[in-house]
């Protein structure tokens, strides 16, 4: 998967990972992939919900060592 942009949202509490993701998405073209890394447990629910409601596609998500990584394709 080709990642177009990576956002480091580690150490940021809700709703900042979603805010950062939205700001980054505004800079991307349709089909581009955003990778966002967060340490906020709330991001596990918040980012997929925001992705769906915004018309984007959650390509994948992983969890390791209290870090949550999401790959979102811009719709």
Nearest to 75 by CA among 22, 17, 9, 37: 22
Spatial distance between the Cα atoms of 61 and 20, rounded to a whole number of angstroms = 17
Catalytic residue among 14, 28, 37, 59: 14
Q: Is 14 a catalytic residue?
A: yes
Spatial distance between the Cα atoms of 39 and 67, rounded to a whole number of angstroms = 5
Q: What is the set of active-site residues?
A: 14
């Amino acid at each position: 998967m080709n990642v177009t942009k990576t956002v480091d949202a580690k150490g940021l509490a809700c709703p900042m990972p979603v805010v950062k993701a939205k700001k980054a998405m505004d800079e991307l073209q349709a089909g581009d992939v955003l990778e966002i890394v967060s340490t906020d447990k709330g991001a596990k629910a918040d980012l997929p919900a925001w992705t769906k409601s915004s018309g984007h596609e959650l390509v994948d998500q992983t969890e390791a060592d209290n870090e949550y990584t999401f790959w979102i394709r811009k719709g």
